[in-house]
Structure formats: C-alpha cells, structure tokens
Amino acid sequence: MLAKDRRLYKLENTMKEIIKKLGSLSVPLISGIVVALIWANMSYDSYYKFVYTEFLGGISFHFLVNDVFLVLFFGSVCVEIVHGVAPGGNLYPIRNTVSNLLGALGGVLLPIAIFFILNHFIGKPEYTNGWAIPTATDVAISLLFAQMIFGKKHPAFTFLLLLAIADDVVGLVIIALFYPDPQFPVDPRWLSLVFAAIVIAWLMNKHKIRNYWFYLSISVLAWIGLHEANMHPSLALVFIIPFIPHNENDENKYGRNELDHFEQDFQPIVDYGLFFFGLSNAGVEFSSICNLTLIIFISLLFGKTFGIYLMVKFAGLLSFKIHRAITNADLLIIGMTAGIGLTVSLFIAEIAYTDIVTAASAKMGALFSLFNGVIALTVAKSWQYLAHRKK
C-alpha cells in the first residue's frame, strides 16, 4: 500500500512538473493560436459566431477573455515589475539598469518611427491608429528563444529579461493612455472608483491585511470604474498589485509573502488561460495579409533590433555600461528576440481598429512576429558556426 502511495505521489508530482513546464514554454498560447488560425480559415463564420455571439446579458466569449481573463494576465505582468523594482530585484537600484531602460525606450521609439515611415509610403491613413502594435515584446516567448540561444546563465538572458520588464511598463502605459474605447469617449467621473480602490488597497496594506483575496476583491471596484469610464478594464489589477504585501517582513515561515502566493496560485491559470486568448484573438484568415501586415512585421523586426542596439550604445557613451560578456552580435540578437510582439501586439491590434478586416491584417503582422525568434535563432547559430570554423 505504501509503495502504491509513493508511486501515486511520484506520478502526481511528475504531472505537476509537466503542466508547469508546458505553461512556461507558452505551449497553451501557441496551441490556441494554431487552433484559431485553422478554424478561421476552414469556417470563418462559425469561428466568428463562437467568439463574438453574446449570451448571458450581452456577454461574449471575446468579452470574457479580453476584459476579464486579461485582468489576471496583466496582473501577473505587474507582479514581475513589482518584484523587479523591489530591493534585491533585477531592476533595483534603477541606476544600475539605465542601459536596459534606454534600450527598452529605443525598442519602442524606433518601431513607432518605422511604422509611420512605412505607412506613409505603402500604407493608408486608416492604419495610423495601430502605431503602438510594434512596440510590444512578448516576455515569455522572447525569453524562451533567448534561453535556446544563450542559456539562462548568460548575461544576455538577464539583460533581455530586464529590458522586457521595462518594455511591459511602457506597454501598460500606452494601452491605458492612448487606447480608450473608440466608440465611447472616456468618462473621467468613473475613474473615481479606481482612485477609491487604490486608496482602500493602500489602507489595507498599511493596516497589514495580508490575504491577497481581499485585494483581489477591491480590484473589482477598479474594474467597474475602468469599464464604465470606457477604458480597458483588463488593467484593473495593475493598480492593486503593488499594495499586496511583498516585503521581506511580510514573509511567512515558508519564506513566501502574499504576492508570491498570488503568483504561485494564479500562474497556471494565466499560462493555460492564454490558450483561450490565442483562440479568441488569433482567428484571422490568411487572405487578410496586406501591406499593414508587412508594416507591423518590419517595424517589429528592424525597429526592435536596431532601436535597442543603438540606444544601448548611446547609453555606453553616457558611461552606462552593460556586461562585458555581451558582444555587439549578442546585442543584435537580443533586439531580434525582443521583436516578438505576439500577445500584447495581438491585444493592441484588437483595440486599435474598429474595422474587422484592418484588425485582422494587423493581427497577422503580430502573428508573423513569431518568426523574429526563428530569425534570431538562425542568425545566432550561423554566427556560432562561422566563429567555430575560424578557430
């Protein structure tokens, strides 16, 4: 009996490790994208009906994913930012990460510039609102390719991690400020609920209320405020996460604080919930490919690659150095890898355009950015092969 219990315990742990590994490799997200693409190209009408048909008082599958589930996704992104800027975190103190921050800035500004230049020559005026699509970096998939290229212990991997975290901060700000619902103007009166939620969360933190469920319940107030203000409610948890106890003094006997518990409990839900995000947002027909698709793809590939490279070099002129083990070639590879926009790019494409056909073309550009990782991997292996032959 004991032997049987040990086998069951071992099997259970093995399954947990497999589930965790698949989630960390973004398998659910990629699977959702593949299913959506196949479904949309085989029967777009049935796909569209499944995603957008309203039920239960006007709620659709698309609404549940993009306005409800993404609250947890952006919340998990914010957790990484909070950990990064905390004492002992990867971004602490900020002065030691100036190169990363400037690199992230270059990886945002140059893609925007390339987008507008290309759109002027080969695009259309109605494409303009998608300028932010090529500013995003998909942290999970970019790091997956970086791990294959450099390995986790190489300074280039850490450099990309810090850069991607900084990029997430910029992305959240862009979504909040520049992409309200185009059909309904922002109603700032409702933002008072968001402010109230922040104040309540701060008071709970000040009075040492630990359980993260209390904080999650307050985020509902922020969600309602953003939704009624005609802004994106998916950002609701971003305003609350920083107040969930996460200092060393808040740790329990297992060395974890409430923010760690939140991350641990919800990470599998976020990882596997991305299957439904891919299913809900990636269902576009290949016939949607047009110049906008090319504009976004090129803006991500060349904008990220050279924007990051040039800005980091500029930081070097200001005496902000990077690790000596990171070569110029490594820096270019980092930029290419950061050119995988995917998740956030898909989300921005969805909210940037009211026209379904235009949005579909933009989404194809975001989907094609996956090839930037393949390009980075191919270039890196080619350089490694050539370097080996010269020895």
Residue 305 and residue 332 in contact, taking contact as beta carbons nearer than 8 Å: yes
Give residue 10's pLDDT. 52
Residue 180 and residue 105 in contact, taking contact as beta carbons nearer than 8 Å: no
What's the angle, vertex CA 69, arms to CA 68 and CA 74, rounded to 5?
100
What's the angle, vertex CA 122, arms to CA 119 and CA 128, rounded to 5?
25
Q: 161: pLDDT confidence band, cut at 50, 70 and 90? A: confident
Mean pLDDT of 46-52: 96
The per-residue DSSP string of 159-198 comes to HHHHHHHHHHHHHHHHHHHH---TTS---GGGHHHHHHHH
Of 228, 219, 234, whose CA–CA distance to 350 is shortest?
234
Contact residues for 152 (Cβ-Cβ < 8 A; gap 6+): none
**Rounded to an integer, what is the distance from CA 107 to the centroid of its chain?**
14
Distance set, CA 391 to CA 186, 378, 383, 384 (Å):
62, 20, 13, 11
Strand partners, 54: 60
Domains of the chain: 2-390 (1.20.1530.10)
pLDDT digits (tens, 9 = 90+) for 265-305: 998 899 899 999 999 999 999 999 999 999 999 999 999 99
Phi and psi at residue 217, to the nearest 5°: -65, -35
Write 257-261 long-range contacts (CB < 8 A, 24+).
258/210, 258/211, 258/212, 258/215, 259/79, 259/82, 259/83, 259/212, 261/212
pLDDT digits (tens, 9 = 90+) for 86-104: 777 766 777 778 998 999 9
**What percent of the chain shows pLDDT beyond 90?**
61
Residue 266 and residue 80 in contact, taking contact as beta carbons nearer than 8 Å: no
Give residue 254's pLDDT. 58
Give residue 194's pLDDT. 94
pLDDT digits (tens, 9 = 90+) for 301-325: 999 999 999 999 999 999 888 888 8
Q: How many CB atoms lie within 10 A of CB 4?
A: 8
Q: pTM above the 0.75 mark?
A: yes
Find which of 40-54, 69-83, 151-165 is predicted with most confidence, using mean pLDDT: 40-54
Place of tokens 């070097």: 316
What the block records as the tokens of 270 is 């976020």
Place of tokens 């904080």: 215
pLDDT digits (tens, 9 = 90+) for 166-216: 888 888 889 888 987 666 677 889 999 999 999 999 999 999 898 999 999
Mean pLDDT of 120-148: 93
pLDDT digits (tens, 9 = 90+) for 329-369: 999 999 999 999 999 999 999 999 989 999 999 999 999 99
The pLDDT of residue 39 is above 60: yes
Of 91, 286, 58, whose CA–CA distance to 169 is shortest?
91
The pLDDT of residue 9 is above 50: no
Q: How many CB atoms lie within 10 A of CB 265?
A: 11
Q: 1: pLDDT confidence band, cut at 50, 70 and 90? A: very low
Mean pLDDT of 40-66: 93
- Interhelix angle 155-178/98-122, nearest 10 degrees: 60
The pLDDT of residue 45 is above 70: yes
Q: Is 322 left (phi over 0), alpha (psi -120 to 50) or beta?
A: beta
The pLDDT of residue 218 is above 70: yes
The pLDDT of residue 250 is above 90: no
The pLDDT of residue 7 is above 60: no
The pLDDT of residue 14 is above 70: no
Contact residues for 377 (Cβ-Cβ < 8 A; gap 6+): 145, 148, 149
Distance between CA atoms of residues 373 and 148, nearest Å: 10
